[in-house]
Amino acid sequence: MKISNKDPARHFDVIVIGSGLAGMALALNLADHKRVAIVTKRGLMAGASDWAQGGIAAVLADDDSVEAHIRDTLIAGAGLCDEEATRFVVENGRAAIEWLIEQGVPFTRDADNITGYHLTREGGHSHRRIIHSTDATGHAVQTTLAEKVKNHANITLLENHIAIDLITGNKLGLEDNTCHGAYVLDKNSGKVRTLAARNVVLASGGAGKVYLYTTNPDVATGDGVAMGWRAGCRVANMEFVQFHPTCLYHPHAKSFLITEAVRGEGGILVLRDGTRFMPDHDPRAELAPRDVVARAIDFEMKKRGLDCVYLDISHKPAAFLKEHFPTIYERCLDLGIDITRQPIPVVPAAHYSCGGIVTDRSARTDLPNLYAIGEVACTGLHGANRLASNSLLECLVYAKAAAQDILGHPDKPLATLLEWDESRVTDADEEIVISHNWDELRRFMWDYVGIVRTNKRLERAQHRIRLLTEEINEYYQNFRVSNDLIELRNLVLTADLIVQCAMLRHESRGLHYSRDYPELLPEAKNTVLTPDGLDVAKSQ
């Protein structure tokens, strides 16, 4: 059955899949000129952007420079950053911050700073350049933009809708593999909706939930990467999973991040007896890039059989901590930890995917009319390791770039699409299969594809992924889709892409550390996967 190409409830100029900073910024940059639908699988504020604590990196101070920010990014990226992409993002940093200020984002002010705003410093940065809203920057930004999204007449918000797959020319039997829309499950009704659009933008975030321990919210299940791959897009550098060094270690503190800024403001990492260990691992100590700090913590924990280490900033004045880290102070206090007097127990946790769908400077993917922005994309900015607080900046810069590209092309006629076919499936008989597979996947990914890897561990992970893939595909073909099934299907595929990339990299670089290949190869190359085969290629 075909759907009418005149139904305004199912046809849009642009469909944005994801409601984080990238998705909302794009929608607001387009909405004065285009009809936009935002598809988000929970509420508007459910994504990882709302959880961001530290801030946004941009050159704002007189003693800082674009060249210094570029240099810091390239160093952190361990030779794999695309220099043109890095320059593009950094040079557009100030404009991105000014746009947020115009929207009304309440960044923390500082009358003594010539910028008028307080700038903090984080690991890997040579200057104070992190603009923030105390220690809840993401929430301040998202709350501000969400109000504008909700009140814009040209933006249709589809909450509790999860995208299943992209609708491409191949699926419609057309000669060109252009993207024409998406199949979306309405979780309220249980019905699958067929949405058509002239352009589709993947802004669905990362895949932290592929690991047992993560700082990400539950919605971070690799949906965009999986959908893009199935549609025919290349993906790159999936082996570079950033483990944030300092996630709060407490049985009642699920996924609570202790921002990098705590170390930037003088916090030190210690063992239970108060012994500081970071200077033994790197001359930059606590201000080393995240991959260095995470590996150091992992080493100390494994060497000594520890459940956690400690982050101590109790030597700073109590008033300073309450002013600069109110969210962390209150959350820790609720759990019986007074950070003004006690160190904070911390462990590394999966935090950010540096790889993703390959895009160009306008956020275009390999498929015409399909864009990818934010954590789902591999732009070349992050290389083998993301510099702290560059992620929200990337969201803003590429959201604007994608919007400009979309607005620069004339509208094309909407395609006539086929309805979702449920004629040969039934209701699932045992949902327990999904939860068991989900748990198994996250545990073996943590054990075998974590901070430190070996060939044997990767082979074990790949074997289990193949078995899970067969089981899930059979389940998917025979039963009606559900939110959990869609997420599990995407997580297993994303895990497979991570492992494939990791097995192709025969060196240790940035976030990928292999005991079998501890040395750095003389030439830095991206790991690029194509849907019809594998290819290790030079930088795009």
**Residue 287, Cβ neighbours under 10 Å: how many?**
20
pLDDT, residue 64, reads 96
Residues with catalytic roles: 290
Domain with CATH 3.50.50.60 in the chain: 11-239+354-407
Let me know: does 68 contact 174? Beta carbons within 8 Å.
Answer: no
Confidence bin at 2 (pLDDT 50/70/90): low
Q: What is the CATH topology of the domain spanning 11-239+354-407?
A: FAD/NAD(P)-binding domain (3.50.50)
Secondary structure (3-state) at 509: strand
pLDDT, residue 537, reads 35
pLDDT, residue 113, reads 75
Residue 3: pLDDT over 60: no
Closest of 87, 61, 55 to residue 73, by C-alpha: 87
The string of pLDDT tens digits covering residues 263-310 is: 989 999 999 999 999 999 999 999 988 888 988 998 898 889 898 999
The two three-digit tokens of residue 133, written as one number: 């809203």
Phi, psi for residue 54 in degrees, rounded to 5: -60, -60
Residue 152: pLDDT over 80: yes
pLDDT, residue 261, reads 86
Q: What is the largest CA-CA distance in the chain?
A: 69
pLDDT, residue 485, reads 93
pLDDT, residue 160, reads 97
* DSSP annotation string for 488-505: HHHHHHHHHHHHHHHHH-
Residue 78 backbone zone (phi > 0: left; psi -120 to 50: alpha; other: beta): left
Q: Which CATH number fits domain 241-351: 3.90.226.10, 3.90.700.10, 3.90.1150.10, 1.10.3720.10?
A: 3.90.700.10
The string of pLDDT tens digits covering residues 169-219 is: 988 888 888 999 999 999 999 999 999 999 999 999 999 999 988 989 899
The string of pLDDT tens digits covering residues 354-370 is: 999 999 999 999 999 99
Let me know: does 192 contact 254? Beta carbons within 8 Å.
Answer: no
pTM given for the model: 0.90
Percentage of residues in the chain with pLDDT exceeding 90? 76
pLDDT, residue 429, reads 65
Residue 491: pLDDT over 90: yes
Domain with CATH 3.90.700.10 in the chain: 241-351
The string of pLDDT tens digits covering residues 225-240 is: 999 999 999 999 999 9
Confidence bin at 9 (pLDDT 50/70/90): low
Residue 330: pLDDT over 80: yes
